[in-house]
Amino acid sequence: MSKVVDYPSAMSPVPSATSPEAVLVPPPLLPLAPPRRRATFLPFSPPSVGEEEVEAVTQVLRSDWITTGPVAKLFERRFAAAVQAPEALAVNSCTAALHTALAALEIGRGDEVITTTMTFAATANVIEHVGARPVLVDVEPDTLNIDPARVAAAISPRTRAIIPVHFGGHPAALDAIDDLAAARGIPVLEDAAHAVPAAWRGRPIGADGRLVAFSFYATKNLTTAEGGMLTGPSDFLAKCRVLALHGMSRDAAERYRVGGSWSYEVHRPGFKYNMPDLQAAIGLAQLQKLDAFARRRQEIVARYHAAFADEEALETPVTRDGVTHAWHLYPLRLRLDALRIDRARFIQELTERNIGTSVHFIPVHLHPFYARTYDLAPHDFPVAYANYLRLVSLPLHPRLTDAEVHDVVEAVYDVVARFRR
């Protein structure tokens, strides 16, 4: 590579004060040694699946039942036990879980649902799907979770639910949110796409009959390629179970089993959101590894924290007292005033060093649909917007080796050193 790079301040030749030349002649533009680069691209978040998952899927494929049936039931029971939920409903995505819950809560036209702008668009999209209005609010500056004070200010007579998102795996301030919801008699539906296994004040996210939607998307802490789970009280989940399968009174496994009846009734046009046994088999294998996955995530986070804590150009993610963090993401924040480059260039520099990264999230209010429909400007949510501009998610998954973590740290430091202001 013969590209001429800016001088990193630490390596700039210092002109000698005694040499008149040094004052008159600008330092020559020396081609810097190219940054050390990994031999291969380090992907941001590949799935952590092994032979156990392959074996489990093969077994289902060789059986006579491949869609929703006994394996999905078992996955529901084991997942519910893992998060101490009274019951769980397996569906084909977290989006489906959120949508089904809103529909079962009979939320629709004329209703408002409060959620955070710092989330994946799916959280807001499902509110649109039921015909309600998403009321976006800003986040807390430390956790980037929904700000209860902003929720309080956004509550109106039309508010029918609050959807906090456990950003990056750090539980939202559920006590304050619960108080606001209880005062108005409205439900809290948690988007826990990032939060397995996580805990709030000693209780697992998903426990105690709370309404919680989980994601098993390919990049998430536990994956079934695509998939999701809804936890909640048994009577509520019974309603969701019907809605998630066409609104039919009895599922296919029941109808097709020996002695099963062909008859069923549809009382409401439901959705096609059931999770097939094929995918539930992956989930069961993943569930067995969840504790080990969580430990490895914590180890990697400890390494990142130690490496970046004292670097003034970087801000590491926080953990509040009383929470167990699921560490789905490692959202590093750049202190842009300490750097000569913006976030986009920072990511480009990491990509050139063969390090995959991502940004979580492009705030919902920046997406054209929401900006246009609700007349929202970037600075309407100043905390989310200012942080969006400086967020970079680093690779964080159980398969990362210590050497790979070292490569990420080295690449980040190389970029910081070259582009320090």
Ligand X SMILES: *Cc1c(COP(=O)(O)O)cnc(C)c1O
Which of 191, 277, 349, 407 contacts ligand X by CB under 6 A? 191
* Nearer to ligand X among residue 42 and residue 189 (C-beta): 189
Q: Which of 3, 220, 239, 272 is catalytic?
A: 220
CB of 126 to ligand X, least distance (A): 9
CA within 13 Å, CB half, 28 = 4
Site for ligand X in 108-167 (CB under 6 A): 119-120, 122-123, 165
* Nearer to ligand X among residue 126 and residue 411 (C-beta): 126
Stretch that binds ligand X, among 5-13, 41-49, 191-199, 409-417 (CB under 6 A): 191-199
Query: Distance of CA 364 to CAs 101, 134, 237, 405, Å?
Result: 21, 10, 28, 31
Which of 89, 118, 193, 313 contacts ligand X by CB under 6 A? 193
* Nearer to ligand X among residue 124 and residue 285 (C-beta): 124
CB of 41 to ligand X, least distance (A): 23
Tokens, residue 92: 């084909």
Beta bridge partner(s), residue 97: none
CB of 84 to ligand X, least distance (A): 22
220: annotated active-site residue = yes
Q: According to the binding rule CB under 6 A, does residue 384 interact with ligand X?
A: no
- Burial (CB < 10 A; 0-12, 13-18, 19+), residue 407, is buried
Q: Under rule CB under 6 A, how many of the chain's residues touch ligand X?
A: 14
Q: Would you give the binding string for ligand X spanning residues 214-253, x where CB under 6 A is met?
A: -x-x----------x-------------------------
The DSSP output letter for 139 is: B
CA dist 233 and 217 (Å) reads 24
Contact between residue 132 and residue 107 where contact means Cβ atoms under 8 Å apart: yes
Stretch that binds ligand X, among 28-36, 42-50, 155-163, 188-196 (CB under 6 A): 188-196
Site for ligand X in 77-96 (CB under 6 A): 93-95
CB of 91 to ligand X, least distance (A): 9
CB of 215 to ligand X, least distance (A): 3
* Nearer to ligand X among residue 286 and residue 349 (C-beta): 286
Place of tokens 């289902």: 60
CB of 85 to ligand X, least distance (A): 18
CA dist 134 and 102 (Å) reads 12
Spatial neighbors of 310 by CB under 8 A, at least 6 apart, are none
Place of tokens 């609050």: 162
* Nearer to ligand X among residue 294 and residue 307 (C-beta): 294
* Nearer to ligand X among residue 275 and residue 412 (C-beta): 275
Site for ligand X in 301-360 (CB under 6 A): none
Closest CA to 159 of 182, 175, 142: 182
CA dist 196 and 217 (Å) reads 12
Closest CA to 88 of 196, 199, 246: 196
| Single-letter residue type at 39 | A
The DSSP output letter for 336 is: G
The Cβ of residue 70 has, within 10 Å, a number of other Cβ atoms equal to: 14
Contact between residue 277 and residue 75 where contact means Cβ atoms under 8 Å apart: no
CB of 222 to ligand X, least distance (A): 11
- Residues annotated as part of the active site: 220
Name the site residues for ligand X (rule: CB under 6 A): 93-95, 119-120, 122-123, 165, 191, 193-194, 215, 217, 228
